[in-house]
Amino acid sequence: MKVAVVGATGLVGTVMLKVLEERNFPVTTLIPVASEKSVGKKITFKGKEYPIVSMTDAISMKPAVAIFSAGGGTSRDWAPKFAEVGTVVIDNSSQWRMFPEIPLVVPEVNASVLTPNHKIIANPNCSTIQLVVAINPLHKKYKIKRLIVSTYQSVTGTGVKAVKQMHDERAGKEADRAYPHPIDMNCFPHGGTFLENGYTTEEQKLVDETRKIIGDSSIMVSATVVRIPVVGGHSESVNIEFHKDFKLDEVNQTLKSSAGITIQDTPSQNIYPMPKYAEGKDDVFVGRVRRDDSQPNSLNLWCVSDNLRKGAATNAIQIAEYLNSKGWIK
């Protein structure tokens, strides 16, 4: 199977290569794609060197699947060209997510929407992925009426420049800023760009993508995105109001038995999810599960996940694994 990774030298692209190797995805020929200045350089995958190629060369090789993590503009211009030669594109940018005809997929939640005819598949935003993994089992049981989500997002969600800014600030060096403010010893409620309604693009993604993936446009969602100085993953405080009442022990059992979730919820022993310990792992870690006593049918939980893995690379490769299990890519 020929597999292209577009954006192979970037922060997410390098994790994609690592996850493909770890999960032993059946790659026979790797086609790493990056910017023109990187063409000809080599990367190592499973002990073998592969030269980085251009977009046009990659398309001419007709890969079975192309996993994109190269920004929305690149995906807009090039994903259709891959699709035209029969390649299935799994795109990590925001470019295609809200097109009605393009599936937006988290395999544990809605892989069933995929068909052999889909040639472009959207990978959701990192904070949305972990959210829907955590809440969808509860939605199926109690039906969600309203969500209030506050995120505490790692600098890795912004990219290499943001990580370097934080480390330079921590070392007392002059930093080339990816953010409008210092990030070390700080946090700020600003992810993406501000919209006319006062929310940011990152907050709006949580609203729109959650409804699309779960398949229920009636769910009311309010989000606040906060950037914090960590590299391990994203954390979310989630308040859920259900249409139906629930028993807390049933909630816990539902979460424990759901794919992709690890429960860490023994507060008396200081056990709860933290980004430091989610880093490098693929599950969504859930804890601090408790009833919201301020109103009926309401629950609080805290979830953490590695935004580069389940929030990006792993989810994309799980989509490819699903397609391969169906015999839809060869």
Could you write out the DSSP letters of every residue in 112-147? GG--TT--EEEPPPHHHHHHHHHHHHHHHHH-EEEE
Catalytic site includes residue 126: yes
Count CA within 13 A, CB hemisphere, residue 135.
35
Which of these, 205, 253, 184, lies nearest to 72 by C-alpha position? 205
Of the candidates 126, 139, 187, 303, the residue annotated as catalytic is 126
Neighbours of 29 (CB within 10 A): 13
Q: Are 91 and 123 in contact (CB under 8 A)?
A: yes
Q: Which is the catalytic residue, given 139, 167, 190, 234?
A: 234
Q: CA 290, CA 268: separation in Å to the nearest integer?
A: 14
- The crossing angle, in degrees rounded to 10, of helices 248-256 and 126-142 is 130
Closest CA to 307 of 236, 239, 203: 236
Q: Report the DSSP pairing between strands 284-291 and 261-263.
A: parallel
Strands 298-305 and 234-242: antiparallel
Which residues does the annotation mark as catalytic? 126, 234
